[in-house]
Chain A
Amino acid sequence: MTQGFDFSILPLLAVLIPACGAGITALVSFYSAWWRNLTATAVTAATLIVVTAMYPAVVTGGRVLSFQLFNVVSPLNLTFRVDSFSFIVALIASFVWLAATIYALSYMEHEENRGRFFSLLLLTLSGTVGVPLAGDFLSLLLFFEIMSLASYVLVVHTQTDEAYSAGDLYLYLGVVGGMSILAGLALLYFRNGTLAILPATLLIQGMDVVIPLAAILMIIGFGIKAGMAPLHIWLPRAHPVAPAPASALLSGIMIKTGAYGIIRVVNVLLVPSAGPSVAEHAKGLYYEFWSMVSGMGYVIIWIGIITMFMGVILAIIQENIKKMLACSSISQMGFILVGIGVAGYLKYEGAMGMAGASYHIINHALFKSCLFLAAGVIAYKLGELNMYNLGGLWKKLPFTTLVVIIASLGIAGFPFFNGYASKTLLHHALVEAYEHYGVKALLEAERIFMISAAGTVLYYLKFIYLVFLRRPPEESVARIESIKGEPRSMKFGMAMLAVMIVFIGLNPGFLLNSLIIPTVSSFAFAPDFIEHHIVGIHFFTTSDIMSSLVVIGLGAIAFAIGVKSGLFKMSFPAWLGQEFFATQLGKAVVSFWNGLSGVFVSILGTVGGGFSGVFRTGFSLLQGLDYRPGKSDTFRMFNLSNIDFDVLLIMGILAGALVFLFYLQFGVFGIGI
């Protein structure tokens, strides 16, 4: 594949504009709320425009934009490198960001510290857009860390105890993840001398245990951010406590940077050739690398399957809307991970998995952000997020109801809504993975995939039914009757996303041709495979629609059973919930630390105390020899009034030194010589 390089300042601008905007917004917010809102919106819009401006060169022209600042931040320079995949992630990030910012203008009116919120929102945008645009892993880590630290402030924004403890988990797991990535990068860099996000860079030094080790460290680091099981424990706690626009971005966008990182590690960095490989690559060093990619892909498929299934189970048992959405995000990340895994597992024929994963990254960003914003409307109007205390909201909030139904149809994969296209691609990919090597276990994986999809339908039906459609419970009727429609900017923000969901759903081929195929072609996949299987794919074939309808039917039946039998109200024992484990783990870690450090402190205390005793005795003995007996504390008064004591001391030391030196000069010193 021949791709031209263009030097362009656009990627740098896309990062700098929100970073500087954050500072300006912070300053402006001291003077006027109106100007602050305007600045925040304008800066986000400007970022979107700058990112979009890369479209002609990157996607249509098939070129790679790159830019570097020498000796900045890392010994490797700060580099940017934008290909189609970078562009997709940056574009969806800045688009959803704009929607969430517009939404936040009204939403944040009932929160405090609005200046801090908008300023940090922009700083987080800078990091989030920087992650996909970065040209090497160290630059990527820079933006990743900026995003992690800045978004911490968004998580703890409300400053309640719950937010604070969830934020702690978020922050420290973020630090651990960052350090894990850093360790992996150090292993790679000091072995290969480059961290550029390009395939075939690792080939030069050959294969040894360092490469898989580094890759695993990096996958763990990115996996924490991506909510990959079992590293997901922070996610259901941290995402819901943030204000709704921030939750939408955390769950819709920031979580994707983890997936982006995993893709860059597995499907780019570990891949041994820049172009699509042919059979002659199936030997020697190439073969070793391809086998490793394939093996890691297989593991990631299963991690994805576990993640999606566990996410579904967690989502079904939630009562809090935002928690349910956060668990749903875990589950949907599982779908994306399956796509990534298949793309690795099938080596250079894994284009279908990558197409599905990148398509689902876009789709999930749209509908999950949309759902979080809708949940925010409920929180904003009622201050209540427990589904069992809500009901009948369709009369009061018809617009929100419509948006939630659109987004839910999207996430459930209903034909003619956007999730249908990406789930179909992912399903195809998984089936291909099974057919390619005939591993029986993957057939089971495919079943779990279908069950998870049905589970998704189930809990969104439950959500819509409980919150919008059924009659409200007695105790909250009065509260629900009192509310009126949504503020305009909130409507606008949600509408931006909902329109996109419907648009993509009706034209699944548009996004496929304009973004997904250029993206897939930029990876090391066989072009003829892409040509045959992905270009011109028909989404609305009978079998695909049927399988989608079967899934939806299954979900609906399960929902009907659940409602009739009251199974949803069944509460699981505490030890089944992940929070139980998280709390216990936290307690165990804390007591472990306390125990460990307690031992050290007490040992050191004893030793220190003993030493001080010795010193004190020694010093009082010395004082007995003081040249000024009677004033026993003179040694403490080393000030100018008795500087002669210092001088005496120095003279004594020098005298001793000189005596020894003379002694040496006459050569009688004979230890060991």
Chain B
Amino acid sequence: MEIVSSLPLVAVIIPILGAVLLLFVPEKNDNVRNPLALGISFVTALVVVSVVRLVIQGNIVYNKIVEILPGLELSFRVDPLGALFAGAASILWVFSVLYSIGYMAHEHNRRRYFIFYLLSLGITMGIAFAANLFTLYLFYELLTLATYPLVVHEGNKEAHNAGVRYIIYSFFGAGLVLYSLFITYGLVGTLNFAQGGIMGEVARTAPLLLTTVFIAYILGFGVKAAIMPLHSWLPSAMAAPTPVSALLHAVAVVKSGVYGILRVMYCIFGTETMVELNLGIIVAVLVSFTIILSSIIALRQDVLKRRLAYSTISQLGYITLGAGLLTPLGLSGGLLHIINHALLKITLFFCAGAIITVTGKKYISDLKGVGRRMPITMLAFTIGAVGMVGILPVNGFISKWYLMGGSLEAGMPIFVIILITSAILNAAYFFPIVTAAFFQKGDFEAPQKKLEAPLSMLLPIALLAVTSVVVGFKLDLTVPFVDMVVQYLF
């Protein structure tokens, strides 16, 4: 049932208004800003959850804002896919704001940081709730702009270079999306997302053009989804403060690229067109290279955050691979991995941030024996690592299982080999960190006064790690919802 409600708009507006509100809080006044930022993100999450609940009950929430042209309007429409992305992102945002409070306590420019952090939240919600490609595109561009100040936050040379690269890559991708947007609109006269796609007859009349447009879309959104060779902005953007890396570059920004790809594949082109033009295989092959190559590169990284970044690139490939398989099981795997990877990767990044805050070490080779000093953090890191490899019972396993099912369902067992290889590579670059941290002798033997990170950082780490295991054990928490999304899209 389609119901008209302004809740999606409210979810977008609240953090944006909140960001404006933070503008009036002076730089030094942390005691006001921190609870305010946390409260705003919490309220946003509540609104989003209420929208998600409506969607789970079988509704579609629609909210039109303005019609620009016939068939081209700025409007929100929350279907199960959007609800999945919005729910995951907004809830994790609360955790990362909490974490930011601890992490940013000793950083400069906190006001600017929190303003843009909340602004990004509103914009991400806009992406998730977009009813058509035009709205999605608009917020997609805004996200680049709103996150740029976060990427260059440190203000040093490295951050500037990273920022430049981020902007150029993103705009290049957005340009490709825009190009495809025009052609799509020209072909079918609408950009609204619909079950089964909007291409219809066009697939038969202009197959070559459609293939070109599709590839342009994939490359365009692929920049943010870090498909190789468009990925290099992501590792360099690790110059940002850790909460930014964690949330934006493991959850929100990269996932919005993946979300764009999913929307294009399932709501613009539709599975029938995709199968007819054989487009799924292009995506699957492209990301298979990404999955394996970035894992191999990750093996060589010595900066912890960069290794995590390459792991992100590889894991995002799983999601896109699941979508590209064009089977219900494969898509389930991809969608489950949106949730599971978000939980795991944000935990890993938070751990990396806690290590930097407490010890100041960023290189993996310096982290021998750190487990003695920060046992809780490193235990959480271990859970994240085990989950990333896809070992039972942590949640990463489930998405991998569904993805393997999807590849077999599609009759392409080659992807099972790729997934297994990637799992072994994951073990090869994550487990040495863990084993060295706990079992090798290092500089952390004698515990000093300050053992772990402050509570506002440790709490999200512990909660998210526990959640990863709980979600891994109790499938009822994720699988039925994902099944609903898959049913809606197929």
* A431 close to B (CB within 8 Å): no
**Interface range, B side:** 35 or more
Taking a contact as CB atoms under 8 Å apart, the answer to whether A672 and B439 are in contact is no
Q: Which of B165, B329, B435 contacts A168 (CB 8 A)?
A: B435
- CB-CB under 8 A for A638 and B149, given A72-B473, A657-B178: yes
Taking a contact as CB atoms under 8 Å apart, the answer to whether B404 and A190 are in contact is yes
A255-263, A355-363, A661-669 - the one binding chain B: A661-669
* A554 close to B (CB within 8 Å): no
Complexed CA–CA distance, A152 and B434 (Å): 12
Report the minimal beta-carbon distance from B107 to chain A, rounded to whole angstroms: 15
Taking a contact as CB atoms under 8 Å apart, the answer to whether A597 and B299 are in contact is yes
**Interface range, A side:** 35 or more
Taking a contact as CB atoms under 8 Å apart, the answer to whether A661 and B168 are in contact is no
* A17 close to B (CB within 8 Å): no
Q: Which residues from chain A contact B142 at a C-beta distance below 8 Å? A: 650
* A649 close to B (CB within 8 Å): yes
Taking a contact as CB atoms under 8 Å apart, the answer to whether A156 and B408 are in contact is no
- CB-CB under 8 A for A661 and B185, given A149-B386, A179-B424: yes
Complexed CA–CA distance, A152 and B398 (Å): 23
Main secondary structure of the interface of B (DSSP, over half): helix
Report the minimal beta-carbon distance from A511 to chain B, rounded to whole angstroms: 34
Q: Which residue of A has the minimal Cβ distance to B174? A: A653
Taking a contact as CB atoms under 8 Å apart, the answer to whether A650 and B145 are in contact is yes
Q: Which residues from chain B contact A639 at a C-beta distance below 8 Å? A: 112, 149
Q: Which residue of B has the minimal Cβ distance to A161? A: B440
A416-424, A462-470, A605-613 - the one binding chain B: A605-613
- Interface set, chain A 335-358, CB cutoff 8 A to B: none
* B420 close to A (CB within 8 Å): yes
Q: Which of A146, A164, A607 contacts B435 (CB 8 A)?
A: A164
Complexed CA–CA distance, A239 and B186 (Å): 69
Taking a contact as CB atoms under 8 Å apart, the answer to whether B405 and A189 are in contact is yes
Taking a contact as CB atoms under 8 Å apart, the answer to whether A142 and B393 are in contact is yes
Complexed CA–CA distance, A650 and B139 (Å): 11
Q: Which residue of A has the minimal Cβ distance to B301? A: A601
A170-178, A306-314, A561-569 - the one binding chain B: A170-178
Complexed CA–CA distance, A661 and B161 (Å): 34
Q: Which residues from chain B contact A660 at a C-beta distance below 8 Å? A: 182
Taking a contact as CB atoms under 8 Å apart, the answer to whether B186 and A669 are in contact is yes
| Per-position binary interface string of chain A over residues 138-152, scored 1 when its CB falls under 8 Å from any chain B CB and 0 otherwise | 100110011001001
Q: Which residue of A has the minimal Cβ distance to B151? A: A638
Q: Which residue of B has the minimal Cβ distance to A662? A: B69
Complexed CA–CA distance, A616 and B441 (Å): 44
Taking a contact as CB atoms under 8 Å apart, the answer to whether B205 and A73 are in contact is no
Residue in A71, A612, A672 with the greatest tally of chain B CB atoms within 10 Å: A672
B78-86, B218-226, B474-482 - the one binding chain A: B474-482
Taking a contact as CB atoms under 8 Å apart, the answer to whether A175 and B141 are in contact is no
Taking a contact as CB atoms under 8 Å apart, the answer to whether B386 and A619 are in contact is no
Report the minimal beta-carbon distance from A418 to chain B, rounded to whole angstroms: 35
- Interface set, chain B 378-433, CB cutoff 8 A to A: 386, 389-393, 398, 401-402, 404-405, 408-409, 413, 416-417, 420, 423-424, 427-428, 431-432
Residues of B within 8 A of A (CB): 23, 68-69, 72, 112, 115, 141-142, 145, 148-149, 152, 160-161, 163-165, 168, 178, 181-183, 185-187, 205-206, 208-209, 229, 232, 293, 296-297, 299-300, 329, 386, 389-393, 398, 401-402, 404-405, 408-409, 413, 416-417, 420, 423-424, 427-428, 431-432, 435, 438-441, 472-476, 479
For the complex of A and B, 6 pairs with smallest distance between CB atoms: A672-B209, A186-B404, A669-B186, A142-B392, A190-B408, A175-B427
A-B contact pairs, 8 of them (CB 8 A): A73-B475, A172-B428, A175-B423, A179-B420, A190-B329, A593-B299, A639-B149, A640-B115
